[in-house]
Amino acid sequence: MNFSKKQNVKRLALAGIAIALASTINAQTPEDKGLEIAKAAEQADLGFNSSTVELKMTLKNKNGQTSERSLTTKTLELTEDGDKSLIVFNSPKDVKGTSTLTFTHKEGPDDQWLYLPSIKRVKRISSNNKSGPFVGSEFAYEDLSSQEVEKYSYKFIEEKDGLLIVEQDPVDPKSGYTRRLVSYNKDKGYRIEKVEFYDRKNALLKTLTYLDYKLYKGKFWRASVFNMVNHQSNKETRLDFNDYNFDVNLTEDDFNQVSLKRAGN
């Protein structure tokens, strides 16, 4: 075989590989693509270790009347299982000291506890109550869990206005949702811009919008505002976050029932 023939054979072989790769990419199912996007989002946020943040919660009822609460949130990143978080209410007086501890799990139901300072007692949140409102807000207890890939099945829906829309169906049969539609910003570290929640009757229940993102440590995107609108009750809950602190070096000792009680006193 002469040199020119060898080149032609090589070109044909490379062309065949390119066609095979293109076919593989084109053959990617919506489920595979949805899972791939969720994994990319998870990967983009790995490595923050722990953080604390102060925030203001504004509750708006269906008549437009508002009330405010101040909170502190601590988060511990775990890679072998889901993250741990501790939320403490600082004001007003009627909720001051109320605290919630969440152990998110990649598989199986999450563990959650609520400390009520008025009775100085820790109450475990049962799996049947995860869809209930978190301290009178439009956030449910299950909304407090970290975004673990294993908690959902996925289906890519479409790309719209630069956002990747992925349907996520909860694996937990006791979830209050049949599905969520999540909008990822692929150009900004796959950060989430919006989540639409559908109830057990598959009707649109709530929309959570993430606003005013800031980039921390050159890698970690965090929204300064979470705005949750309940379309069925016409109520809203807005969370305004102050600057995150990623230099607190929290450990698992900061996330147990002892620390839960201590935070509330």
Q: Residues 199-237: pLDDT tens digits? A: 999 999 999 999 999 999 999 999 999 999 999 999 999
As a whole number of angstroms, the distance between CA 207 and CA 25 comes to 32
Indicate whether 23 belongs to any domain. Answer: no
The predicted pLDDT at position 263 comes to: 79
The predicted pLDDT at position 21 comes to: 46
Q: How many domains does the chain have?
A: 1
The stretches in the chain having pLDDT less than 70 are 1-26
Q: What is the pLDDT of residues 172-197, one digit of tens each?
A: 999 999 999 999 999 999 999 999 99
Q: What is the pLDDT of residues 121-132, one digit of tens each?
A: 999 999 888 999
Question: Which CATH number fits the domain that encloses residue 136?
Answer: 2.50.20.10
The predicted pLDDT at position 173 comes to: 92
The predicted pLDDT at position 124 comes to: 94
Indicate whether 204 belongs to any domain. Answer: yes
Indicate whether 19 belongs to any domain. Answer: no
Indicate whether 9 belongs to any domain. Answer: no
Indicate whether 195 belongs to any domain. Answer: yes
As a whole number of angstroms, the distance between CA 51 and CA 221 comes to 13
- The reply to whether the predicted model has a pTM over 0.85 is yes
Domain of 61, in residue numbers: 32-263
